[in-house]
Chains A and B, each alone.
Chain A
Amino acid sequence: MKKEILAGAIFLVVILCVFLNIFFINKMMDELFELIDSSEASAMSEDWISAESSAEKAAEIWKKNEKYTHIVLRHSEVNETSEAFFNFLESIYTKDPGSVKGNTRLLKSRLQEIIDIESITVGSVF
């Protein structure tokens, strides 16, 4: 019976971790999307100080959670997203609205990919 209890406990812990991971990733992504959108909007209105501040905050959040993301996501996905962050920051620093638009799309699509992979949907399961 001990084995069955242990197996049941493992099963529940795995399920709990899966849902906690989804919750954590979604929460982080919501925060990132908000900051990236805000940075893009500021860049479009040529408020580069605000754009820079929001973009740096977003990059900081991503960097802070890199250890966690490396544990739960494929390293290639994390590296590609980090690269997209650097491109996004570069376009803000060079104050190029066209480039900001393109790099924002790229970064957001990378982040959305992570959400899609980690969420339990028909598409991600099959």
Chain B
Amino acid sequence: MAISFVRTLILYVLIVAAMRIMGKRQMGELEPSELVVAVLISDLAAIPLQDTGIPLLYGIVPALTLVACEILVSAIVIKNIRLRAFICGKPNILVKNGEIVQSEMKKNRFTLDELGVELRKQGISDISTVQYAILETDGTLSILLYPDSAPATPKLLGIKAEPEEYPVIVINEGRIIGQNLGVLGLDRDWLMRELKNRQVKNVKDVYIMSVTAGKKIFFLKKETAR
């Protein structure tokens, strides 16, 4: 039992580190090779956990090899377009200029029902409004609507839109994020003045406070301090 516990801890640390090294892409949008690696690693880790008669190395060595291969292949793929197409595949156009490309649908084993589901997921009920539908290499469907069906943008409406400033959190659940204050070129004195203006005596009473570069402040007190 103790062996299982220790092994689980070791493999947990190793797999979390491996996933972290492989990058954020792993979490959301898996390419075929990445999916294979993710599934294999979790499977390999389970083997020495289930059977304590198998050395831990039988899980660690293949997992490390897979992670290393994946990172190295990803690096090569970035530089080599042909290899990228071979390993990751190419995006396929399922709808071209409003017409469903049946050969591509068949090639990708994509049914009309699935196409309908994907369109509805993106809030599109009328397929005739779709100019392009592209099946990406990670399996997601990118849709481009005809301009007359696309959502209106300020540019289309002739409205001048100001660029939005990104708010940075400076107090998070009662803790001052000094690094973010520095990013905005502000200091603690400024922060304390702003808190005083809002009748807040203690930083711990603030639930969230965010500031934009133009000093637009969003402020919320903790429920317990109200």
Are B55 and A70 closer than 8 Å at their CB atoms? yes
Q: Which of B54, B57, B72 contacts A11 (CB 8 A)?
A: B72
Q: Could you say which residues of chain A place their CB within 8 Å of the CB of B65?
A: 11, 14
Interface of chain B, main secondary structure: helix
Are A7 and B53 closer than 8 Å at their CB atoms? no
Q: Could you say which residues of chain B place their CB within 8 Å of the CB of A18?
A: 61
Known: A4-B75, A14-B65. A73 touches B53 (CB 8 A): no
B residues 42-60 near A (Cβ < 8 Å) are 52-58
Q: Could you say which residues of chain A place their CB within 8 Å of the CB of B9?
A: none
Are B55 and A75 closer than 8 Å at their CB atoms? yes
Are A7 and B71 closer than 8 Å at their CB atoms? yes
Q: Could you say which residues of chain A place their CB within 8 Å of the CB of B54?
A: 74-75
Q: Could you say which residues of chain A place their CB within 8 Å of the CB of B55?
A: 70-75
Q: Could you say which residues of chain A place their CB within 8 Å of the CB of B70?
A: 7
Interface of chain A, main secondary structure: helix
Per-residue CB contact flags for chain B residues 61-75 toward chain A (1 = under 8 Å, else 0) read 100110111111001
For B62, the closest partner residue in chain A by CB is: A14
Known: A3-B21, A14-B64. A8 touches B53 (CB 8 A): no
Distance in angstroms between the alpha carbons of A17 and B57 in the assembled complex? 11
Distance in angstroms between the alpha carbons of A18 and B58 in the assembled complex? 12
Interface size class of B (residues with CB under 8 A): 10 to 19
Are A8 and B61 closer than 8 Å at their CB atoms? no
Distance in angstroms between the alpha carbons of A112 and B216 in the assembled complex? 75
Distance in angstroms between the alpha carbons of A113 and B95 in the assembled complex? 58
**Count: A-B pairs, CB below 8 Å:** 47
Q: Write the nearest CB–CB distance from B119 to chain A, whole angstroms.
A: 37
Q: Write the nearest CB–CB distance from A77 to chain B, whole angstroms.
A: 9
Are A4 and B21 closer than 8 Å at their CB atoms? no
Distance in angstroms between the alpha carbons of A11 and B72 in the assembled complex? 9
Known: A11-B68, A14-B61. A6 touches B53 (CB 8 A): no
Q: Could you say which residues of chain B place their CB within 8 Å of the CB of A70?
A: 55
Distance in angstroms between the alpha carbons of A6 and B70 in the assembled complex? 12
Does A20 have its Cβ within 8 Å of any Cβ on chain B?
A: no
For B74, the closest partner residue in chain A by CB is: A4
A residues 50-88 near B (Cβ < 8 Å) are 70-76
Are B68 and A7 closer than 8 Å at their CB atoms? yes
Does A49 have its Cβ within 8 Å of any Cβ on chain B?
A: no
Q: Which residues of A contact B (CB under 8 A)?
A: 3-4, 6-8, 10-11, 14, 17-18, 70-76
Known: A4-B71, A11-B72. 9 other contacts (CB 8 A): A7-B67, A7-B70, A10-B67, A11-B68, A11-B69, A14-B64, A72-B57, A75-B55, A76-B53
